[in-house]
């Protein structure tokens, strides 16, 4: 499916479908295309909205997690969203957690996959040999269980970003902000139903991180997907969508249940 980016009021975003809203937040090296399968599946019965977070380009948004959280809230107000489900991957999961604590009345359910917030082993706080295509290819492949998922198109995108001086500097600032912002003592404040979908072979936020989120957040469901790395919605999309659909049918159904 083709993803058409809307540009309004200073925001770039994708929107598909109608029904209960689902807002999706991508990660540090993420893009709208990472959620292509989720958009295609849930756009049939939900209103799926994916803002493009201003991570790479110069903007008025502060280069911190707090800045991105304020950006998301401004976007939510612009779209006039009230009660919605929030899905975040990697850094997007971290922002989702912060947002849920700051604006609990707006969140109907929370879905985290490969979320940072407790521990994350990514490219680190610098980009050694960032001019080396082979190094970037290796690091992108490290994200997935199957190296085949790291397509040339995906590697090219990351290579272009990290070799842009402004983008690289902004990424480093966000990565450092995430590492400083550990949420261990705050997670018991998440009161909404929370779904954890984790790759059993995630090298960046390993399974023990998922178990810790499961222990610290009060109302959780934890599901592991085998032969899957840090981005389950990309690598094991069918299984990811099944788990997410079952969860939403319980806590944010697209249609109200028929009363007998």
- Residue 40 belongs to some domain of the structure: yes
Using an 8 Å Cβ cutoff, are 64 and 177 in contact?
Answer: yes
**CATH number, domain at 196?**
3.40.50.1820
Confidence of residue 257 (pLDDT cuts 50, 70, 90): very low
Confidence of residue 55 (pLDDT cuts 50, 70, 90): confident
For residue 70, the model assigns a pLDDT of 96
pLDDT tens digits for range 146-173: 988 888 988 888 888 888 888 878 888 8
pLDDT tens digits for range 192-217: 999 999 999 999 999 999 999 999 99
Distance CA 75, CA 117 (A): 22
pTM of the model: 0.91
pLDDT at 26 over 50: yes
Phi, psi of 13 (to 5 degrees): -160, 165
Alpha-carbon distances of 89 from 7, 10, 22, 60, 131, rounded to whole Å: 23, 23, 14, 24, 26
pLDDT tens digits for range 88-141: 999 999 999 999 999 999 999 999 999 999 987 654 444 445 568 888 888 888
- Structural domains of the chain, count: 1
**Domain, as residue range, for 243:** 6-118+183-251
Distance CA 165, CA 157 (A): 15
């Amino acid at each position: 499916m083709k993803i058409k980016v809307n540009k309004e009021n200073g925001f770039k975003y994708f929107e598909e479908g109608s029904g209960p809203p689902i807002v999706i937040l991508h990660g540090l090296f993420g893009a709208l295309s990472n959620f292509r399968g989720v958009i295609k599946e849930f756009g049939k019965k939900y209103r799926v909205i994916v803002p493009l977070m201003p991570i790479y380009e110069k903007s008025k948004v502060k280069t911190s997690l707090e800045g991105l959280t304020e950006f998301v809230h401004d976007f939510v107000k612009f779209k006039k969203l009230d009660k919605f489900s929030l899905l975040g991957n990697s850094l997007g999961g971290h922002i989702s957690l912060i947002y849920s604590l700051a604006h609990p009345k707006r969140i109907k359910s929370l879905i985290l996959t490969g979320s940072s917030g407790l521990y994350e082993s990514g490219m680190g706080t610098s980009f050694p040999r960032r001019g080396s295509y082979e190094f970037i290819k290796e690091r992108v492949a490290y994200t997935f269980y199957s190296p085949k998922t790291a397509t040339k198109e995906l590697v090219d995108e990351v290579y272009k970003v990290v070799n842009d001086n402004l983008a690289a500097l902004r990424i480093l600032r966000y990565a450092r902000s995430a590492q400083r912002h550990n949420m261990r003592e705050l997670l018991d404040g998440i009161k909404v139903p929370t779904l954890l979908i984790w790759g059993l072979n995630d090298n960046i936020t390993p399974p023990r991180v998922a178990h810790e989120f499961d222990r610290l957040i009060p109302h959780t469901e934890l599901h592991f997907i085998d032969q899957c790395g840090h981005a389950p919605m990309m690598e094991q999309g069918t299984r990811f969508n099944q788990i997410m659909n079952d969860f939403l049918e319980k806590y944010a159904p697209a249609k109200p249940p028929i009363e007998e």
